[in-house]
Structure 1
Amino acid sequence: MNRRRSIRDDSSLDRLYYFLVRKGRLSVQDLERIKPNVYNISTPSKKWIVKSYGNKKKVRFLWEITSVLNAQKGFLTAPFVPFPSGDKVLENEGKWWCLMPFIEGESLTFSSSRDRLAAVSALHQLHDVTEGMKVSQQVNRPSYLTRMEKRLAKFLKTREIFFQYGHYPLYSRIKQLCVHAFRQMEQVNWDVIEDRSKNNGHWIHGDCASHNFIRQGDDIYVIDLDLMHQAPYVLEWLQLAQRFLYASQWSFHSLNESFTMRQYMKSPYFQRGLLFPGDLLREWIFFLNRKPASRRVEHMLNQMQTDWAKRERFVKELMTVI
């Protein structure tokens, strides 16, 4: 077996290899780490993905929803499947491992108009086939406003990093917009639409990054359902809009080309959510959690400075319609 020497901890890789062969009956030829809990597996006949979770309830929930989606004609995803041993889940050292097919193809690119429209269409399909879906294992999440408030609090604690690297004016500008935008978000009742989404059984993907959409010929696969949960559809389109804007240099055109986005631009929830830079806070906090080296922090802040100037021009235009 080629255990990909790019992974430094060979003993850990060896243990996983023998575990999958012994417990899962997988004929592993090649094993490559994508993330600490996600691996590419090659067998003589097929490629697979194995993924571990630290929460068994989450695994049961994901097995349920992938089974439901896999039974829907016209919607394409990478469902969980049993291991060759017949086991749906393999448990080892407090981790639960699941198996799914590797989807060949190319990730969408949100700088492409064609790919942006394909992502919108795929999410509409997801919303249609999951509307009213019932599952026995529900994963509850805090409200949107609560999540954004916590994200802002974490960002504010990083003030000294901006000061240390000579970017305190950038911190002040981001903080100013965050405080203003959060007050704007508090002016609309998020509880109403969140309760309505639960009553109507509305589900969203929750992580609509471009790499979670795979083009295979004329088909689009939507993968990685780990963050799927019941929520207002507006939150899905809000996150997708932020990703579109970032990929298109904060151009309004990336939103105006889609009928769905044009309709949501009339929503006070969408407008205020778009004003709040929750995506930037998420990426910054995620970046710092990886304990980056000093030169990487400096590079990240320089890039943030450039991106923020483009976002500010977009924000000025957006505030004329709020």
Structure 2
Amino acid sequence: MKMKAMSMTFNQKGDDDYFIRLLSYLRSQFRETIVEMVPYRKSVILIRTEKGSYMLKGFHTNKRLRLQEAFTSTLRKEGFLKTYLFVHPEIKEPLFFEGTYFGCMEYITPNKIPFSFQSQKNRQEGLELLEQFHQVTSSFESRYRTLIPKGAIIEKWRDRGKTFTSNISTLKYFISDKILEEMIGWAKWSLSGMDNNRSLYLNEPFCILHGDVAHHNFLRDANGVLNLIDFDLISIGPACLDYLQYANRILPSLDWSFERLARYSQYEELLKKKAFVYALAYPADIFREWNRLIREGSYRDHQKYKQIMELTIGQFYSRKKFIEGLKVITN
């Protein structure tokens, strides 16, 4: 069994034991002979057999697995081809191992050059792919309204801010009082403006939102085609919610420039709407990462700590200048 380096979130010895047991189980279920197993995470595993390659993905419930199978199938039928399908190789029974249901997906061979938001070409292509995704899902979102949640960004961010504030005594060990006060002030100003202009989030046409437009969910294949993957966080709502998250992801690569963001056609109209401009000020990424770090207690992970401090302190003054510009625009 070929093992890749696993995330430090897990106990290494325990992981080895788990994957040895899992491999034994999979060999008993697959009619095809397994020749290689490469774990990426505990619930994402590459399986190579004599006949082909598959990605196994784990789900806590069979219901969630079936929803993902149905959604990706609908995407493909409605014309969105740049993603994976769930497949059904010859196995003896549905895959269920130690409390996890495993779905089997097509393996997309990745390009030698990984997708990154640091590239202008990638940022533009990612936006265009996301736009295609929204166009296709807007045609069938009504079928999924009873199956997936509605995107409620104001409520979600208000809860995230409350958790961040409740962690203030721990945060003070890492971040100065002045910077903490400033960031909490950004959040309050942003939410207040979003609340007062919430019609954008209620009256815009709905589609199915991806919900996690991080760089690792854009996968360029070996032929250079860009794919959108991982639909675990799909919800119903206006496309602007995905564009908002995408903006938050690419702004560091744009040196926190409103002008550079406005050059993308997908943002041309959105940046004229106050609700969207107010939302750009919310430090959703900072709050999310600190809340996770404290919840998991992973302060001693040097790599994680370095990344979160760069996000919080390294970009602080660029972000502050950007938000001051947003305040001028909304006045």
TM (normalized to structure 1)? 0.89
Write out aligned runs for 1:240-279 (5 A). Answer: 240-279=246-285
- Partner Cα separation in structure 2 for residue 289 and residue 83 of structure 1: 38
Correspondence for 1:19: 25
Asked if 1:174 is matched to 2:188, the reply is: no
Identify the residue that residue 102 of structure 2 maps to in structure 1.
97
Q: Which residue of 1 aligns with 2:240?
A: 234
Equivalent of residue 55 in structure 2, options 49, 63, 69: 49
Question: Is the CA contact (8 Å cut-off) linking 1:108 and 1:213 kept in structure 2?
Answer: yes
- Stretch deviating more after TM superposition (165-174 or 110-119): 165-174
Instruction: Name the counterpart of 1:291.
Output: 297
Q: CA deviation at 1:45?
A: 3.9
Aligned residues of 1:132 and 1:201 also touching (Cα < 8 A): no
Moved more, 270-279 or 280-289: 280-289
* Contact kept in structure 1, 2:281 and 2:326, CA below 8 Å: yes
CA contact (8 A) 1:77 1:223 kept: yes
The answer to whether the 8 Å contact 1:52/1:98 transfers is yes
1:320 matched to 2:328? The reply is yes
In the other structure, the counterpart of 2:215 is: 210
Q: Match of 1:158?
A: 167
Query: 1:82 is matched with which residue?
Result: 88
Q: Is the 8 A contact 2:33 2:49 kept in 1?
A: yes
Gaps in structure 2 of 5+ consecutive residues:
7-11
Partner of 1:186, secondary structure, is helix
**Percent pairwise identity:** 22
Residues 116-142 of structure 1, C-alpha deviations (whole Å, 9 max, x = no match): 110111011111111131248612256
Between the aligned partners of 1:136 and 1:252, the Cα distance in structure 2 is 34
2:74 alignment partner in structure 1 = 68
Residues matched between the structures, number: 317
The equivalent residue for 2:148 is 139
d(CA) in 2 for partners of 1:32 and 1:161? 37
Of 294-303 and 262-271, more deviation after overlay is shown by: 294-303
- Partner residue, 2:9: none
Match of 2:287 among 267, 281, 285: 281
Unmatched runs of 5 consecutive residues or more in structure 1: none
Q: 1:57 touches 1:137 (CA, 8 Å); kept in 2?
A: no
Q: Secondary structure at the match of 2:220?
A: strand
Cα contact 1:251–1:314 (8 A) shared by 2? yes
Secondary structure of the 2:101 match is strand
TM-score by length of 2: 0.86
CA distance in 2, matches of 1:141, 1:37: 26
Contact 1:49 1:99 in 2 (8 A): yes
Q: Secondary structure at the match of 2:211?
A: coil
Shift of residue 238, structure 1, vs aligned partner: 0.3
RMSD (Å) for aligned C-alpha atoms: 2.4
